[in-house]
Amino acid sequence: MGDMNNVLSQEDKRGGNNYPDWLLRGFQQAVNDCELQDLELIGHPFTWEKGRGTDQWIEVRLDRALCTKNWLDLFPLAKLYNLELSTSDHCPIFLDLVDNILLVMKKKFRFENCWLREPLCHQVIKECWNFSSEFDIQEKIKYCGEFLLVWGEAYSGDFKKRLKECKAEINLWKHGRDSISTNNFRTAKSKFKEILTQREVFWRQRSKQLWLQAGDNNSKFFHASASARRRSNSITKLQDSNGIWTSWEDGLDRIMVEYFKDLFTTSGTASIDVNDIVRLVQDFFLTGSLPTGLNHTNIVLIPKKKQPTAMGDLRPISLCNVIYKVVSKVLANRLKVVLPIVISDTQSSFLSGRLISDNILVSFEIMHYLKRKTKGKHGFMALKLDMSKAYDRLEWGYLRAVLLRMGFDGRWVNLIMQCVSSVSYSIVHGCNALTLRDATCVLL
């Protein structure tokens, strides 16, 4: 940690000539050879400057902190801050280790892609589904998830231990010349390769390095990428509506719940019986009601920029469950037929064959006309309207009134309103799930 007197990329410098590529590659290679990772700098992106206010003003990030994977495992929430204020031409940087707060919480179920490589996975799901045949479909999914979680932890547990056992078995049989030893050696070696592949899939899923080809077995790289991704996605503190920084200990969960409460309030496998899903969809269209909890949606917060400071800097992504998506897709396919009738010819989106980019061309021509019009008694003006969340929410009463005014049948309108009014939300952050209630407008 300190003045490295070099940069890792051209983005680390502003002003003056670019760094020579050979110099960049040399520093990058040295960092890679030492298996070090660069901690992201929070605050002003540059730590050294010269010639401020002149044509030769140069800013460079010369100071940084490099660490190993093992160190990051000890301090996964470590943050590096640029303090900026200094009498030197270098800005001081501050490394905050952020002590880990150990929270005991129930582990959430997440399906592991490496399970698909195990033939037993299909059998486990099938037996689970058939065993719970007297349950409704929601209970079946819940039971199946709980059973898979227990089975999966036993199956894809300690890769290091399983690989060690396979190596011992390989060494046991590799010197034998008889057919039994040969067959056992081949079986152990095949099992060893399969565990390596499972480990690669396991860490690839967490690292999100989708550009790598299958077979690039580098678990160290995947583990480092997963750790970096976990750090970049972690939210340790945000500013509330009054600009006060709040951490999880001070009530950050309360800020998230209140933000979305204000936002949403007025100002399978082939062997599984798919008839369960068909019956549920048919019951919805017959009765016009959804089972409680079926339309529960998880909201995941994705940062819009590198350093989010307020809730407005986070993009909410709604994750609906698959069964509800089947219901909504059936409704959408039926609605698609009449969309050209109810959507104006001048609207350039939401219909096949129309491009929203057409509006850009139209607005450009309008602004060009306004700039060139210099004669005449009457002038024109353009207004730029910024309607916050205009495409994210609609009043339920307004939506119902518009659908009825367009001529949709009352029963169809009730189906639509059942879908939008039965929703409930949970804000997901890591292992935490914050429940949001009493929404009175719809998230689109």
Strand partners, 302: 315
Residue 330 has a pLDDT of: 92
- Is 194 strand, coil or helix? helix
CA distances from 123 to 119, 140, 154, 212, 353 (A): 7, 15, 16, 31, 45
Say how many Å lie between the first and final Cα of the chain, rounded. 46
Q: Which helix (H) or strand (E) holds 130?
A: helix 120-131
Whether 263 contacts 393, CB under 8 Å: yes
- Is 267 strand, coil or helix? coil
**In sequence order, what are the residues at sequence separation of 6 or more whose Cβ sits closer than 8 angstroms to the Cβ of residue 228?**
37
**Regions of the chain where pLDDT drops below 50:** 100-105, 209-218, 221-222, 268-269, 444
Q: Which tokens go with 81?
A: 């801050």
User: pTM for the whole thing?
Assistant: 0.44
- Is 428 strand, coil or helix? strand
Which one, of 100, 85, 40, 88, lies nearest residue 66 by Cα?
Answer: 40
Residue 444 has a pLDDT of: 46
Residue 396 has a pLDDT of: 85
In terms of residues, how long is the chain?
444
CA angle 156, 161, 162 (to 5 degrees): 55
> Considering just the CA atoms, what is the radius of gyration of the chain in Å?
29
d(CA 296, CA 291): 10
- Residue whose entry in the numeric block shows the structure tokens 């292992």: 431
Which one, of 133, 137, 131, lies nearest residue 291 by Cα?
Answer: 137
DSSP, residue by residue, 383-419: -----TTTTTEEEHHHHHHHHHHTT--HHHHHHHHHH
Dihedral sign computed on CA atoms, order 175, 180, 183, 186 = negative
Q: Where are the beta strands (DSSP E) in 114-241?
A: 237-239
